[in-house]
Amino acid sequence: MEVSIVTVDALSLEQKIGQMLLVGYPGGAAGEEVLLAELEKRPMGNVILFSRNGTDPDPLRYHLGRMRGAIESRTGIAPLVALDQEGGIVARFRAGLTPMPGAMAIAAAVAGGGTDLHEVEELAAISGAELVSLGFNWNLAPVADVNVNPANPVIGVRSFGERPETVADLVSAYARGLERSGMLATAKHFPGHGDTSIDSHLSLPRVDASLERLEMVELVPFKRLIAERIGSIMTAHVLFPAVEPEAIPATLSYRVLTGLLRDGLGYQGVIVTDCLEMKAIHGRYDDAPARALLAGADMLCISHTAAIQETAFDDILAAVRSGRIPESRIDASVRRILGAKAKIAARTASGVALAEPRSVRKAELCSRSSISLIGETKMPDMSGGGLYIDMLPDALTGAETTQIVAQSVKSALEAEGPTLKAISLPSDPDQSAVDSAVASIDGTPVVIGVYAMARHPAQAALVEAVRAACDARGLTLSFVSMREPYDAAALVALGGKARAVLCAYEYTSLSARAVARVLSGVDEPRGRCPVSIMAGH
């Protein structure tokens, strides 16, 4: 990608404001027209894409070329083209790309010795190079949050774990790989979203930790990445009373973004907000775009609605003209943004073939190495047959695209051979599904693949019904946690009996195949869970 040599002084005020906006738009040809119409009115400088904007690589590459050309023609500067491609449960584009494990699965593979930090960097570089070849240059990853709250509804397995130094090591490796590939990487969500019990897509979370605890836990990965000069950091829509005593989330707080991040930690890169349409901000705080800029944000992410994007642009323009926002404040941010664009333009990113066999194998080996056994009880020998009850996934958070799994555990088991019988049920099974599961028990060992059981109460009813039937007939009952490892705590001693529990950390085609290999006796579970489930684990 080439970036025109442009200085802040050469830009009009409108052009500078356009550089500070990261905008999304609807899918399809109609969505393209929405963006092009918006560009006619305002020089929006950067875009963020979601799965709604296309899926197959060749049309996506063509589309991105058109949109990038339109933005550069309008603004005189090549855009940042962003996406959230964390791997695992948050991957906007899957078709034709090397499938990537998510953060907690990677951490489990590293903890178990099946993958090392160099290989983590390699995986990130593979993902980044493929995205660059499509036309992206900014990945809003990795997640640097330390997940210390088992009830966290939005971070969870998107985090590399609960140990700050381990998370720091892993996000550092992942960010290096992305930036090596020619991408701008992003540490999120500052100063830490890992101890929340509310999804900021839906409401406003709060972290009541002391400043000392923040220094010892939440800030550790961010400090590492700041020292390594990561290109961008994303803000959290979270209250941190230890830093900001007023009821203002980090995204809108001068004390957090300027006092802590800029002045305290010395960060010099681009600060980008999480999407300002999330319910933690939108409808709760008036004038959020201007307030975020005054707090210290450089770029405002508004992912969906053209009218909200246009209002943000116009309000910032009016605030500068009225003197509320000094133009020097705008200039400082635009210099950082232009610097980030020049930095990635200077990197050489050769074109790569997508989903090369070598790359896919690396990702598959990592996923296979992530499968973790919780407790001391081994999985039963199912070579003589068995029943697998497959709870199919759904999207649990605002960060996820609706789950479409190309290969389920059921289909992966069937591909391994006919020994194991499998049935698939929805994540919220009704009584007829429970009855069907119990009726399927045939005298062989039973394994239930739960999916975020704590958030799907109907699964608990199914588990109890199957447990009662298995115990009454003297059959072995085991489990696979296909999402949150914390579910294992309720399963390892269910009904007063020791139960084997495997953790897969995500329900993807990659993890489905890895689980099927363990259940079929092809692989042993080699991962080590990176969060505490019970004492000693």
> Known catalytic residues?
201, 274
**C-beta of residue 186 within 8 angstroms of C-beta of residue 231:** yes
Report residue 206: phi and psi, to 5°.
-145, 135
Q: Residue length, the chain?
A: 537
Facing residues of 143 across strands? 188
DSSP label at residue 164? H
Spatial neighbors of 497 by CB under 8 A, at least 6 apart, are 471, 477
Instruction: Judge contact between 303 and 50, C-beta under 8 A.
Output: yes
- The closest of 347, 198, 349, 355 to 279, measured between CA atoms, is 198
Q: Give the separation between CA 78 and CA 81, rounded to whole angstroms.
A: 9
**Over 62-131, what HEC string results?**
HHHHHHHHHHHHHHCCCCCEEECEEECCEECCCCCCCCCCCHHHHHHHHHCCCCCHHHHHHHHHHHHHHH
- Mapped onto helix, strand or coil, the DSSP state of residue 388 is strand
Distances (CA, A) of 117 to 107, 113, 178, 317: 10, 10, 14, 45
C-alpha 38/C-alpha 232 separation (Å) is 26
Please report how many Cα atoms fall inside a 13 Å half-sphere around the Cα of residue 343, on the Cβ side: 19
> Which amino acid is present at 148?
V
429 touches 458 (CB < 8 A):
yes
Give, rounded to a whole angstrom, the gap between the first and last alpha carbons of the chain: 47
Residues 382, 29: Cα–Cα separation, whole Å: 51
Q: Tokens 């900021």, residue? A: 200
- Residues 168, 115: contact at Cβ < 8 Å? no
